[in-house]
Structure formats: C-alpha cells, structure tokens
C-alpha cells in the first residue's frame, strides 16, 4: 500500500516537473501582465492626481500631442467624463500662440473622448490636488472657443537622431 | 508479488527519469525510444546546419561572460547580419560597443535595429541612453518619450524621461514624472541628484531637504 502511495506521489511530482518547462513561459507572461497592470493603475492615478499636461506631452515645437501625450490625455478624459474639473496645461517656454494651439488640441481630444467642454476649466497652473497653487491662471478655454484653431509650422515634427 | 515489486520499481525509475528530461510534449518518450541510427542522423543534421540565432546569441553571452569582448562582438555582428530580425542581438552588440567607448557605433547598431522594428521600446530606450552618454539631452528625451509612448505603463521609461528633462533644467516636468513612478521623497531625492550633476547646488540642497522632510 505504501509503495502504491509512493508511486502515485512520484507520478504527480513527475507530471508537475514535466509540465514546468511549458508553463514557465505562460507564467512569465502572466507575471509581466500583472506588473504592467499594477504599474498602469499607479501611473494613471498619479496622472489624474496631477491633472497637468506638460510640454513633454507635445511634439517638439508643435501643437500635436505625441504618443505619450495622447495616452495621458485619454487617461484624463476618462476621469473628466465622470468627474469634471480643472485641468492644467503648462506653457513652459513656448510662445503664446503655440501654447494656445496646444490647449486647443487637448480640448479637441477631450471632446472627442466624450468630455463636455463646458465642464472643464483649463489653466496654466502648477500641479497638485485640492488647493492647487495658481501661477498665472489663463483660462484660455473661452478664448479658444472664440478664435479659430491656429495651425502652426513644425506640428508633427519630432527630433530624431 | 516479486513481479509487482519489479513493475513498481520500473515505474519509479521511469518517472524519476521524467523529472530530469521533462515530459511536457512527449519529449521523454521520444528520448527513451530513440534508436542509435536516429541519434546519428540527428547529429549529422545538426553538424551540417548553420547555427540558429539563439545558438549564436548564447555563444556571444558566454564569450562576454568570459571577458572575450572582441570575439563576443564578432559573433553578435554575425548574428545581426544573418538574423536581422533577432532584436536581442542589436542591444547586446550596442552594449559591447559601449563597453569599448564607441557610442556612435552603438547608436548606429541600435538604429539599424530600429529600421527593422521601429516601435521596439527597448531599442528606443537604449538609443536614448546612448544620446544621454553623449550629453545630447534633446535627442535623448525624444527617444525616451517614444519608448514611453509605446509602453506607457513602463516606469523605467518615464523615469528616464525625468532624467533627461532634469538634465535640461526642466525640473518641474522631471519631478512630475518621477512622482508618477516613485514615492514623493524618492522623486525629490532623484531630482536633487540631477541638480547636483548640473552644478545647481542650491536647488540640490532644497530637493534633498524636501526629500528628508517627506521621509520624516
């Protein structure tokens, strides 16, 4: 009887060990996906808490969002659809005209994502949660609505080595 | 009774052997019943065929571990030439070139890989690192941003972007990215280190103090 139990145990161990090579790749993929998922949730949370877009989100010297910018704006849009509020777009050292074009780009993408334009307020302010410190609030949304979108040279260009 | 014990022992040996050889896809049974002739045929086939990308790559890694850099580089160059779609070889070849302080060669190698796989985030990130070593923070940022665009949930690419921005003196942007991927105290500490390397002592002191405050 003992020998039968022993054989059964060895058989089960052999099955487990034999299948390990096949499963290892799958397990690695699952672990990678899990880590990405946790990272994704943490990064998305930080993006919403900061609710700020920076020059690095845009194509260099252009008004278009780069791939990372599009993705981060989509994260914000998903939040603003349910919880509208203030959004900061930092001007950095770009000219006012280019800054305005960038704001228009963000507004257009938000609207496309289903955010009601009237329920978000865009300014150039430092990031933060409640009690956001305002440097020089611009509230450019109204201006953007009145003026046509300016098309700027250089939009879409990116520095490449 | 004796026959059943023998059968049980035979089973035990068989499964123990299975432990070592793996029985996932029936490999063990194929291995068990291979004839002498099958083995000779398999050996000859392996002997006359050219090495696979994986074999060359494994050989290169062994050479690198043995400190035989020139030979490692030659094998990786061959891997890239014969298997241009095998991406890990580009990264390792660039790494070997960087070890011998040939940053421009490393950039060319990685760019060749990028022509095959334009959205490979590892290649993009590594080219960014090369530009960082050359001190061209604009190009470096562009590459890290592209890598982060391809894999937005990758904390390393965002942290590398923060590093490039910090080295350009764009502290606010650097800090915002660090805060997305690190605890706030670490974010300020990292920014302090970047300020130090830029020679911005006052800001470095400020950032380190802020980091200490946050740690309590």
pLDDT in tens, B23-82: 455 566 666 666 777 778 777 777 678 899 999 999 999 999 999 999 999 999 999 999
Query: A43: distance to nearest CA of chain B, Å?
Result: 5
> What is the pLDDT, as a whole number, of residue B125?
97
> What is the pLDDT, as a whole number, of residue B41?
79
Domain membership of residue B157 as a residue range: 128-216
A12 pLDDT higher than 80: no
Same domain for A8 and A22:
yes
A134 pLDDT higher than 60: no
| Residue at a domain's end among B118, B152, B171 | B118
Q: How confident is the model at residue B194 (pLDDT cuts 50, 70, 90)?
A: very high
> What is the pLDDT, as a whole number, of residue A94?
95
CA dist., res. B188 & res. A5, Å (int): 60
Q: Which of A7, A15, A18 sits opposite B11 (nearest CB)?
A: A7
Q: How confident is the model at residue B17 (pLDDT cuts 50, 70, 90)?
A: low
Same domain for B139 and B107:
no
Same domain for A45 and A64:
no
- Looking at A51-95, list the stretches that DSSP marks H as alpha helix, in order from N- to C-terminal side: 67-82
> What is the pLDDT, as a whole number, of residue A139?
44
**Percent of chain B at pLDDT above 90?**
76
Same domain for A137 and A61:
yes
SS3 A86: strand
Give the domain CATH number at B70.
Answer: 1.25.40.10
Same domain for B188 and B113:
no
> What is the pLDDT, as a whole number, of residue A158?
25
CA dist., res. B127 & res. B143, Å (int): 7
> What is the pLDDT, as a whole number, of residue A146?
43
Residue with the larger pLDDT of the pair A78 and B17: A78
Same domain for A116 and A92:
yes
**B123 part of a folded domain:** no
> What is the pLDDT, as a whole number, of residue B197?
96
Q: Which of residues 32-71 of B touch A (CB under 8 A)?
A: none
A71 pLDDT higher than 50: yes
Contact: B139, A55; criterion CB under 8 Å: no
**B141 part of a folded domain:** yes
CA dist B24 → A26, B17, B71, B140 (Å): 14, 13, 36, 45
Query: A101: distance to nearest CA of chain B, Å?
Result: 20
pLDDT in tens, B157-185: 999 999 999 999 999 999 999 999 999 99
B2 pLDDT higher than 50: yes
B147 pLDDT higher than 90: yes
Q: How confident is the model at residue A18 (pLDDT cuts 50, 70, 90)?
A: low
**A124 part of a folded domain:** yes
DSSP per-residue codes, B84-140: TT-HHHHHHHHHHHHHTT-HHHHHHHHHHHHHHSTT-HHHHHHHHHHHHHHT-HHHH
Same domain for A58 and A11:
no
**B215 part of a folded domain:** yes
B21 pLDDT higher than 70: no
pLDDT in tens, B105-146: 999 999 999 999 999 999 999 999 999 999 999 999 999 999
**A29 part of a folded domain:** yes
Same domain for A60 and A136:
yes
Average pLDDT score over chain B = 90
**A160 part of a folded domain:** no
Average pLDDT score over chain A = 75
| Residue at a domain's end among B96, B118, B140 | B118
Same domain for B135 and B189:
yes
Same domain for B216 and B139:
yes
**A156 part of a folded domain:** no
Residue B150 and residue A36 in contact, taking contact as beta carbons nearer than 8 Å: no
Same domain for B132 and B113:
no
Q: How many domains does chain A have?
A: 2
Q: Which of B139, B172, B179 sits opposite A159 (nearest CB)?
A: B139
> What is the pLDDT, as a whole number, of residue B22?
54
**A134 part of a folded domain:** yes
B11 pLDDT higher than 90: no
Name the helix (H) or strand (E) containing A158: none
* Across A125-139, B87-101, B157-171, least confident range: A125-139
Q: What is the ipTM of this complex?
A: 0.76
**A153 part of a folded domain:** no
> What is the pLDDT, as a whole number, of residue A126?
78
**B144 part of a folded domain:** yes
A140 pLDDT higher than 60: no
**A161 part of a folded domain:** no
Same domain for A67 and A119:
yes
**B67 part of a folded domain:** yes
A99 pLDDT higher than 90: yes
Q: Does B18 touch chain A (CB under 8 A)?
A: yes
> What is the pLDDT, as a whole number, of residue B209?
97
**B23 part of a folded domain:** no
C-alpha angle B50-B51-B54 in degrees, rounded to nearest 5: 150
Q: Which of A21, A56, A126 sits opposite B145 (nearest CB)?
A: A56
pLDDT in tens, A144-155: 344 333 322 222
Q: How many domains does chain B have?
A: 2
Same domain for B152 and B107:
no
Domain membership of residue A36 as a residue range: 1-49
Residue with the larger pLDDT of the pair B125 and A39: B125
**A11 part of a folded domain:** yes
Chain B neighbors of A5, CB-CB under 8 A: none
> What is the pLDDT, as a whole number, of residue A11?
65
Strand ranges for chain B from DSSP E: none
């Amino acid at each position: 009887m003992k020998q039968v139990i022993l054989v059964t145990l060895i058989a089960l161990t052999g099955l487990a060990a034999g299948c390990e090579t096949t499963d290892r790749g799958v397990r690695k993929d699952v672990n990678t996906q899990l880590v990405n998922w946790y990272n994704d949730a943490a990064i998305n949370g930080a993006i919403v808490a900061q609710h700020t877009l920076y020059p690095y989100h845009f194509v260099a010297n252009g008004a278009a969002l780069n791939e990372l910018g599009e993705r981060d704006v989509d994260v914000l849009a998903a939040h603003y659809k349910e919880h509208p509020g203030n959004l900061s777009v930092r001007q950095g050292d770009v000219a006012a005209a280019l800054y305005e074009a960038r704001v228009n780009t963000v507004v257009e993408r938000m609207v496309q994502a289903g955010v009601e334009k009237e329920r978000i307020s865009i300014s150039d302010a430092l990031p933060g949660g409640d009690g956001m410190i305002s440097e020089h609030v611009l509230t450019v949304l109204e201006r953007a609505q009145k003026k046509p979108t300016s098309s700027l040279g250089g939009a879409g260009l990116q520095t490449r080595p | 009774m004796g026959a059943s014990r023998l059968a049980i022992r035979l089973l035990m040996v068989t499964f123990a052997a299975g432990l070592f050889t793996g029985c996932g896809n029936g490999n063990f049974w194929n291995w068990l019943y291979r004839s002498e002739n099958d083995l000779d045929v398999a050996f000859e086939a392996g002997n006359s065929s050219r090495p696979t990308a994986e074999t060359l790559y494994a050989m290169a890694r062994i050479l690198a571990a043995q400190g035989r850099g020139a030979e490692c580089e030659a094998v990786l160059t061959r891997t890239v030439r014969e298997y241009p779609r095998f991406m890990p070889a580009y990264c390792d070849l660039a790494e070997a070139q960087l070890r011998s302080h040939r940053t421009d060669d490393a950039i060319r190698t990685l760019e060749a890989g990028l022509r095959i796989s334009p959205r490979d985030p590892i290649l993009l990130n590594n080219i960014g690192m090369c530009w960082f070593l050359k001190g061209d923070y604009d190009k470096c940022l562009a590459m890290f941003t592209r890598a982060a665009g391809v894999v937005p949930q990758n904390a390393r690419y965002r942290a590398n972007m923060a590093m490039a921005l910090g080295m350009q003196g764009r502290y606010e942007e650097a800090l915002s990215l660090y805060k997305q991927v690190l605890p706030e105290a670490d974010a300020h500490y990292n920014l302090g280190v970047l300020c130090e390397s830029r020679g911005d002592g006052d800001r470095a002191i400020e950032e380190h103090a802020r980091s200490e405050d946050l740690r309590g």
